[in-house]
């Protein structure tokens, strides 16, 4: 027989609550491996890039001035969420990850332009196209910079 309290709570709410408790306990039991799967999914937007962007070359690739300008733009628009060194924060993933560093420049440009609104990344289409390419150039330069540090990979 149910007590008066349980009569007032719909069965669905009880089921949802139990499912949430099970999920939380499973996450704790797995030693926080859920965070690892979230990390893998953090760059899932790169998988949704239309084909025409994947083949799009970076018109500013290799231009040192573009790297410097992109760094300044990154500091203004991206560092607050992705971290000063693109290492990631609680708000946004690392841009040093292999998924980003090995992505086609056009794919990064697409994600930068269209944002990932469902994950909190704003649309940056308001930035002029050359500035978006400068940010892409800067992000790609981080890979080369990281590879030049002994012991870092």
Q: 57 and 22, same structural domain?
A: no
124 or 12, greater pLDDT: 124
Q: 84 and 20, same structural domain?
A: no
Residue 55: DSSP 8-state:
T
Q: 116 and 77, same structural domain?
A: yes
The whole-number pLDDT of residue 45 equals 82
From residue 65, give the alpha-carbon distance in Å to each of 12, 43, 116, 126.
Answer: 59, 28, 28, 22
Q: 140 and 73, same structural domain?
A: yes
Q: 46 and 27, same structural domain?
A: no
From residue 81, give the alpha-carbon distance in Å to each of 14, 28, 91, 119, 146.
Answer: 37, 27, 5, 12, 20
What is the share, in percent, of the chain residues with pLDDT greater than 90? 58
- Range with lowest mean pLDDT among 32-46, 101-115, 131-145: 32-46
Q: 128 and 60, same structural domain?
A: yes
Domain count, the chain: 2
Mean pLDDT, residues 141-151: 59
Q: Which domain holds residue 83?
A: 41-147
Q: 71 and 12, same structural domain?
A: no
The whole-number pLDDT of residue 67 equals 96
Q: 143 and 102, same structural domain?
A: yes
Q: 45 and 25, same structural domain?
A: no
The pTM of this model reads 0.68
The whole-number pLDDT of residue 42 equals 53
User: What CATH number is given to the structural domain containing 95?
Assistant: 1.10.760.10
Considering the chain, what is the average pLDDT of its residues? 77
pLDDT, one tens digit per residue, over 26-83 is 333 334 433 443 444 457 788 889 999 999 999 999 899 999 999 999 999 999 999 9
Pair 67, 138: CB distance under 8 Å: yes
Mean pLDDT, residues 126-142: 97
- Is a pLDDT exceeding 70 seen at residue 121? yes
């Amino acid at each position: 027989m149910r007590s008066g309290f349980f009569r007032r709570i719909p069965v669905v709410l009880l089921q949802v609550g139990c499912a949430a408790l099970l999920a939380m306990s499973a996450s704790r039991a797995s030693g926080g491996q859920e965070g690892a799967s979230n990390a893998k999914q953090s760059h899932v937007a790169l998988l949704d890039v239309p084909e025409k962007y994947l083949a799009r070359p970076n018109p500013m690739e290799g231009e040192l001035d573009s790297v410097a300008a992109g760094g300044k733009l990154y500091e203004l628009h991206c560092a607050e969420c992705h971290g000063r060194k693109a290492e990631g924060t609680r708000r946004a993933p690392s841009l040093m990850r292999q998924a980003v560093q090995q992505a086609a420049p056009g794919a990064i440009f697409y994600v930068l332009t269209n944002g990932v609104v469902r994950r909190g990344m704003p649309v940056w289409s308001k930035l002029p196209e050359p500035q978006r390419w400068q940010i892409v150039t800067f992000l790609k330069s981080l890979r080369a910079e990281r590879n030049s540090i002994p012991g870092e990979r």
